[in-house]
Amino acid sequence: MKILHLISSLETGGKERLLIDICKANDYDGTSMAVVIISNAVDDVMLSDLKSTGAKVIELKRKPGGPKLKYIYLIRNYIKGLKPQILHMHGDIEVFFGSLASLWVGNKTVCTLHDINLWRASLKGKITKRLAIRLIDKFIAISDSVKDDFMKGTSMNGKNIQVIPNGIPLQKFRRSEQSSDSSEIICVARLEYEKKGQDILIKAIAILKNDGIECHCKFVGEGESRQYLELLVKKYELTDNIEFLGNRSDVPELLANAGTFVLPSRYEGFGIVIIEAMGTGIPVIASKIDGPKEIITHGENGLLFESDNEVDLAEKIKMVINDGILRNRLIRDAFLSAQEYSIEKMCDGYLAVYNSL
């Protein structure tokens, strides 16, 4: 079966990394898959990693905001030439280009819904969503929360959406033999505080410091909120407690050597980094919202704190630091939970969707 994946960029991000892992897991030989990039946003390390999988990579190098009809035409020509059975789209702009490019060509179309609050904010987004519902044969939601959120306000048939949780290459995320200090915190997420909530974690660390508990936190990721977050760190006099590492290619090692993982998002469709942290055997604390609630059972394989509440987050961090029995249980059960989210299991689910079409 020939699959054509369509993705708008290849920067360091969750869905981009996931697509590379899919290509690695499926062991493509260069003729059974093509990945089309319709934007010029490409990270050289990510691109090299993608090419090493054996997948055929086509870069269209469209600049954001560039002409649309030209690239719809180009993608349509690739679809006609490659003759894939499936066109798999991974985002909103991909849906706009891909669904129009594949009209009357004969291939089936699939779209993975990678987050909640998709295509709501603008008229363009609402039009894209209506276009997607009419033209796409099958949607894959990464969690029940994403499925429910996408179906709100629509009359679409629930049979057209299948939930397939994201998976990770479990062999990359291994437990460290050394026991790390639980006050060594790590947060891996794009620096976009309005969604990812890094400001909440900074305020929680300030609360703990005032209570005499010194924590050290590493933020991994880049984004438009970095300057704001750095100013917040200075405001709370936490420059000795918080470090910004930027984008890193050694996330598995950073997680394995950390003491506690925190994802303080305000909204989150799934949170694949939660699974990665669980697989490395460190306690996980996340907001009690959307996707994370589907992964974490509070008090068993992780802790959940009330969303947007730095006081409650500080209390949960304190619990992990002070309660060794709880910490060990969280580590054990989290590691076992992570084994259910393999990239191979996810790919089997994708293949079943393809076959059904």
Domains of the chain: 3-167+342-356 (3.40.50.2000), 171-338 (3.40.50.2000)
- State the pLDDT at residue 180: 73
pTM: 0.90
Q: How far apart are CA 32 and CA 61, in angstroms?
A: 22
Contact 267, 149 (CB under 8 A): no
Q: Which portions of the chain are predicted below pLDDT 50?
A: none
pLDDT tens digits, 114-164: 988 887 767 777 888 888 889 999 999 999 999 999 998 787 878 899 999
> From CA 254, how far away is CA 344, in angstroms rounded?
24
CA-nearest of 271, 288, 243 to 337 is 271
Predicted pLDDT at 30: 55
Indicate the burial class of 52 (C-beta count within 10 angstroms; 0-12, 13-18, 19 or more).
exposed
SS3 content of the chain, % helix, strand, coil (to 5): 45, 20, 35
- The two tokens of residue 270 are 């799934």
Residue 178 has what pLDDT? Answer: 66
Residues 99-116 have pLDDT tens digits of: 999 999 989 999 999 988
Contact 50, 23 (CB under 8 A): yes
pLDDT at position 176, please?
Answer: 72
What pLDDT is attached to residue 45?
87
Q: How many percent of the chain have pLDDT more than 90?
A: 68
